[in-house]
Amino acid sequence: MKIIFVLIATFLSLNSLAQTTDTKFINLEPVKVVATYSYKYQPDSTNPSDIKKSDMLLFIGDHISKFDSKSDYMNDTITRKLVTFEMEQEYYKNPQRPIPSILYRIYKNYPNGMLTYTEYIPSNYFKFEENLDLYHWVISVDTSTICGFKTQKATCNFGGRNWIAWFAPELPYNDGPYKFNGLPGLIVKVYDIRNHYVFEMKSIGKTEKSLMIDFLDTEYLPTTKQKFFQAWDSFQADIVNRARQAGGDNDFQQTVARNIASRNNPIELIRK
């Protein structure tokens, strides 16, 4: 069940309505290529049959990249065209609109040499930075063909997990999905050895129209990685109370509590 995602999406919708149509974006640089990744993950370490899926987009420029969920990008693209508050209200009432389940955006080399992570946790936009050089890769001689590209294997330990990556030297981008970077070629597939988190490229190509890597110009709450996840944990701990305040009955509150308990397997087990 996706109760937790529905609740978060509801809070996001309310926040978006509160922004009004005057929301601004900062253009950082033009997009050179866009890579689409399939993302499969197991949020409950005790339930291997519960696999979530999402398509993700990596926008690559000359110096900066942005990693975002496809549904978030589609939602954002549509809402920018809504010129009145009434149009926004009507849009958010549409049950067919894209509702993102992945809520973060990751910018690499912005600012220079750093990684910027942003995410909305009701009722604040959070932002923290990390050094871009997060990984100590060990490159092997093993090769494979993935998504039509000849790739080479590399391994590392990150966030309390052991990871295997396959990068394509013919794709000259020192980048990859999520925070992954630092190999001599684009990472086309990366996964932890338990296959709890798997990113695999589906396609890559130049855009048909001019696109910009942009950054939401809003009031962020600057924080550290550790404090951000503390805020996220506090939000999850309080979501049952939020469900109660929203008028949910006991059964609904218990369902929310079970969903919270099942989200016990974050991509970064060590979050410091």
Q: Enumerate residues 6+ apart whose C-beta is below 8 A from 81.
A: none
d(CA 258, CA 272): 27
pLDDT for res 258: 67
More confident of the two residues 11 and 168: 168
Using the predicted structure, report yes or no on whether residue 268 has a pLDDT greater than 70: yes
> Which pTM was predicted?
0.87
Q: What is the pLDDT of residues 47-85, one digit of tens each?
A: 999 999 999 999 999 999 999 999 888 877 766 766 566
Look up tokens 């220079």; give the residue.
Answer: 112
pLDDT digits (tens, 9 = 90+) for 210-225: 899 999 999 999 999 9
CA gap 63, 72 in Å, rounded: 23
Strand order in the sheet with 114-121: 138-146, 149-158, 161-168, 186-192, 197-205, 33-41, 52-60, 65-69, 104-108, 114-121, 124-131, 220-222
User: Of 65-69, 77-81, 184-188, 266-270, which gets the smallest average pLDDT?
Assistant: 77-81
Tracing tokens 């949910």 back to the chain, one arrives at: 248
**In the predicted model, what is the mean pLDDT of residues 111-125?**
93
- What are the residue boundaries of the structural domains of the chain, listed by start? 3-134+202-262
